[in-house]
Structure 1
Amino acid sequence: MRSFGAVDPVKVALAGLTTMALGMAAALNADALPVIGGGTTYSAEFSDAGGLRADNDVRIAGVKVGKVSEIDLEGDRVLVSFQVKDAWVGDATSASIQIKNVLGQKYLALDPRGEAILDPGDPIPLRRTTAPYDVLEAFRDLSKTVDAIDVGQLARSFDTISATFADTPADVRSALDGITKLSGTIASRDRQLRTLVANTRQVSQTLVDRDTEAQRLIQDGNALLRAISTRQQAIKDLLDGSKRLATALDGIIADNDGQLGPVLEQLDRLTSMLQRNQDSLAKGIAAFAPAIRVLTNVAGNGRWIDGYLCGLVLPTFGPLNEKGCFEK
């Protein structure tokens, strides 16, 4: 057996570096590994990305089955690459970009169809994909367009058109008068319109910037509603149990009414008597206190009784009791 010192250190170093390189490559491409990775990689062609971004969810029937890995522009179409794990994707599958929440976040929805499994090398064609219309982008474009409009020039153009068609029939003149009034209204409300559009742009941008917080808020609200629903069932069970207990107690009282009635009646008479004689009982207790104190003094010196007898010999019969019991 060859000793460790006889091994060529260059070969050991090359083997170690190769192992480290393979480990780093596997760590950086963990999602692409067949067992521990993120699943099978597919692709789909879209006419517009529609606000879809990498790491957005991929869902089938509302259930998350993967995520979007990459979005590339290829010619006149957008190629979206995504990963799907533990889900069947057929060769006639269709894809669409859907809105996840009110803040405009998107996800890729798949409708798996077909009889055979979709080949990962064949992208879902453009005819089986649908891109949404982004409302937030539309508001942004509207604000830019309104900002670029020269309202004064627009009003003067409408006035020129109205003056040009001044000699036309009454119906045309009425329509032109309406256009003139509209141009005047737009010109007089220019500042308010610009403020409104600017505020709309700020609101939409704030919603986009706070997308994560708002999504977390919605999730917390769902958790709160689930907790309330759970507590509602617990409260319902408690009320049902209380109702059953009341029914059982009512039956017990009905069964023992013949015995409980006289007992309660006698107890009521006893408490009434004690209430009537409350003052007498108080005086009796107060008068009983000295007797208890004397008895305690007599029997409180050990295992004998210590007492004092006064008046056994009258004061008139000698010097033993000359002053009597009550004189000092």
Structure 2
Amino acid sequence: MRSFRERNPITLGVVGTVVIAAVAAAVFGYEDLPIVGGGTTYRAEFSEAAGLVPANEVRVAGIKVGEVTDVGLAEDRVLVTFRVSDAWVGDRTTAEIKIKTLLGQKFLALHPVGEAGQDPDVPIPLERTTTPYDVTTAFEGLATTAEAIDTEQLARSFRTMSETFADSPRHVRTALDGLSALSRTIASRDAELAELLGNAHTISATLASSSDEFRRLIDDGNLLLTELDHRRTAIHGLLTGAERLATQISGLVADNRDQLAPALAQLDTVTTILRRHTADLDRGLKLAGPYFRLVTNAAGNGRWIDTYLCGLVDGNRAPCRPPRPGEGGGS
């Protein structure tokens, strides 16, 4: 076998580049590989996308089994491509786009039924798919429609109809009078209604832009509740132990009340005496300070006591004071 140095470097470079490209393709597109991929790819036809986007979840009975990989237009309908793993999809399976959160996030729900498996090359037909009603989109459309209405013209139209049917039967005139009053009310509240719908649109847009934060908040709350549920036994044991401790303390006090009452009474007497002689105690502590300092100085040089006896000999009778350095004296 020849070494790499003996081989053609151009051939080695080409082969190495092909191998690196194949490894990179396998790493970044392993989910699309037929054996080690992320599952089976199916398609479904819908009348509209209803806000479904790639990377949305695919669920069966509330459990995530895959994700949406593509949402595209196929003539007069929407073709949704999704990948499913570890789940059976029957040949009469129905698909439904559902609302995941109140902020408008969607997911694809599958209801697997049928005698045989669904053919991945045959999309789930439009007859077996449904889409949700999006409240946010409805509010946005209502705001746009309300802004385009000429309320003054509408009021004039209702008044003209009321005047035209003035000689009609009573119930017809009553209905038209009500319509005329309604039109006047709408015309008088046109600015307020427009502001209300505009604010509703702003709120819905804000909530939609903050969907990730709300989802994290809900997930964190779920984690907290789950941890509390896991610690439920420990918390119950703690509360039960505290209750038993309180019961034992109550019993101890009840059983020793005859002994505790005199002891507490004597303790109260002692504290009263100490409180009454607080000034004497303070003065005693002040006087004890210099005394103990002198005792410490006298006995602090070794295993003897340093002292001075005044007038013990004739030469040290007057003045009776300790000799200073350089003076004679006895001790």
The alignment's TM-score, normalised by the length of structure 2, stands at 0.77
Corresponding position: 1:65 with 2:65: yes
User: Deviation per CA, 1:268-295, whole angstroms, max 9, x where unpaired?
Assistant: 4994797488788778777877876776
Aligned mates of 2:151, 2:42 — CA distance in 1: 50
Distance in 2, Cα, partners of 1:261 & 1:3: 98
Identity rate of aligned residues, in percent? Answer: 50
Match of 1:154 in 2: 154
| 2:192 corresponding residue in structure 1 | 192
Residue pairs, 1:18-57, within 5 angstroms: 18-34=18-34, 36-57=36-57
Gaps of 5+ in 1: 314-318
CA contact (8 A) 2:31 2:39 kept: yes
- Match for residue 163 of structure 2? 163
CA deviation after TM superposition for structure 1 residue 263, in Å: 9.8
For residues 289 and 22 of structure 1, what CA distance do their matches in structure 2 show? 92
Aligned-residue offset at 1:61: 1.9
- Residues 177-326 of structure 1 aligned to structure 2 (within 5 Å): 177-226=177-226, 235-249=235-249, 257=256, 264=263, 268=267, 271=270, 275=274, 299-300=299-300, 302-305=302-305
Provide the residue aligned with 1:91 in structure 2. Answer: 91
Equivalent in the alignment of 1:132: 132
Question: C-alpha offsets along residues 289-314 of structure 1, whole Å, 9 cap, x if unaligned?
Answer: 7876776566555444555566889x
Sort the Cα spacing of 1:258 and 1:220 in 2 relative to 1 into closer, same or farther, 3 A: closer
CA distance in 1, matches of 2:202, 2:290: 91
Residue 223 of structure 1: CA displacement? 3.8
Question: 1:3–1:157: structure 2 CA closer, same or farther, 3 Å change rule?
Answer: same
For structure 1, which segment, 57-66 or 31-40, has the greater mean C-alpha deviation from structure 2 after superposition?
A: 31-40
Distance 1:187 1:280 in 2: 92
**2:85 partner amino acid:** K
Q: Hey, what's the Cα distance between the residues in 1 that align with 2:8 and 2:272?
A: 112
Tell me the CA shift for residue 212 of structure 1: 2.4
In structure 2, C-alpha distance between the alignment counterparts of 1:2 and 1:323, rounded to whole Å: 122
Q: Distance in 2 between matches of 1:266 and 1:141?
A: 82
- Quickly say closer, same or farther: Cα 1:176–1:40, change in 2 above 3 A: same
- Amino acid of the structure 1 residue aligned with 2:77: R
Residues 232 and 153 (structure 1 numbering): CA distance in 2 closer, same or farther, change over 3 Å? same
Q: Which amino acid aligns with 1:199?
A: N
Query: Deviations along 1:195-246, whole A, 9 cap, x unmatched?
Result: 2222222222233333323333333343455566667765544322222233
SS across alignment from 2:69 = strand
Would the aligned equivalents of 2:46 and 2:130 in 1 still touch at CA under 8 Å?
yes
Residues 294 and 8 of structure 1: is their aligned pair in 2 closer, same or farther, counting only changes over 3 Å? closer
SS in 1 for 2:55: coil
Q: CA deviation at 1:94?
A: 2.0
The normalised TM-score by structure 1 is: 0.78
Matched residues, number: 320
Output the CA distance in 1 between the equivalents of 2:22 and 2:230. Answer: 50
